[in-house]
Amino acid sequence: MSESTGSCTSAPNHHLDRRGAMIAMGAVASAGLVGSAVTPSAAASIGSALTSDELGYDAAAGAYVLPPLPYAHDALEPFIDEQTMRIHHDKHHAGYVRGLNKAVAKLAEIRAGSGDAGLIKHWSRELAFHGCGHVNHTMFWQGMAPAASSGTPAGGLAEAIERDFGGLKALASQFKAASKSVEGSGWGWLAYEPIAGKLVVLQNEKHQNQALTGAVPLLGVDVWEHAYYLKYQNRRGDYLDAFWQVVNWPVVGMRFARATG
């Protein structure tokens, strides 16, 4: 496990080969949030990787812009309600993008000698928190789809779920239990652990803590109260059951193919 507080579950990066993915690196670095690594691909599509385009990176401005939702705010009704989606994406996610841009700028000032070097710990923590907040939410929106088009696991992903969990029901059970039991605000994840070559279920606290360094995230669910309280109040388990109805399995399958290819 990572000993630092500065790495959320690593974002997929199509520049990393299987061995490269094993090199310890936090998601902030692997997602290109420190200004390197990710090059947009003309063939990039939702789920194939988190490109700088998908993360809304404006190279000319040197800043991130909140990417639009990949569907309408009400597209996930009745499982995820429109009002929650509006507040969650338009307000909360936007706040993480602002926080990320501020941290990046403050660290640049420190490097240039004009910032307060005594605050480098603070801004480094801010970079990890808001950077992971941005990456996690970008993956979260892409990882859902209207129930009618959410599909089921197929191909290599379906085989890996069978091999590593004993089937989709068992995965769903562990995923729900892990996500439901996150202490406070955090995330549940299905990830690919490249050293053993297995699927694993993980938890984040906040956006970035308790990461398994090197694990490639495939599917994440936000269990901060802002993700469900308007519709589900304290019933996090009911929210997780609803989430499972709108998982975008084709996207999860593409992420798995990318991680193992």
- Burial of 186 from C-beta contacts in 10 A (0-12 / 13-18 / 19+): buried
**From CA 82, how far away is CA 76, in angstroms rounded?**
8
Q: Most distant CA pair in the chain: distance in Å?
A: 56
Count of residues that bind Mn ion according to CB under 5 A:
2
Q: In the chain, helix, strand, coil percent, each to 5? A: 45, 10, 45
Interface with Mn ion, residue 229, by CB under 5 A: no
Interface with Mn ion, residue 222, by CB under 5 A: yes
**From CA 149, how far away is CA 87, in angstroms rounded?**
24
From the list 28-36, 73-81, 177-185, 216-224, the region that binds Mn ion by CB under 5 A is 216-224
For the bound state, the minimum distance from the C-beta of residue 62 to Mn ion, rounded and expressed in Å, comes to: 25
Interface with Mn ion, residue 97, by CB under 5 A: no
Q: How far is CA 135 from the centre of its chain?
A: 5
From the list 150-158, 215-223, 234-242, 244-252, the region that binds Mn ion by CB under 5 A is 215-223
Token pair 């950077």 is found at: 131
From the list 33-41, 44-52, 158-166, 218-226, the region that binds Mn ion by CB under 5 A is 218-226
Interface with Mn ion, residue 141, by CB under 5 A: no
Among 79, 110, 173, 224, binds Mn ion (CB under 5 A): 224
Q: Which residues contact 70 (CB under 8 A, 6 or more apart)?
A: 46, 141, 142
Interface with Mn ion, residue 186, by CB under 5 A: no
Q: Which is nearer to Mn ion, 71 or 224 (CB)?
A: 224
Binding site for Mn ion (CB under 5 A): 222, 224
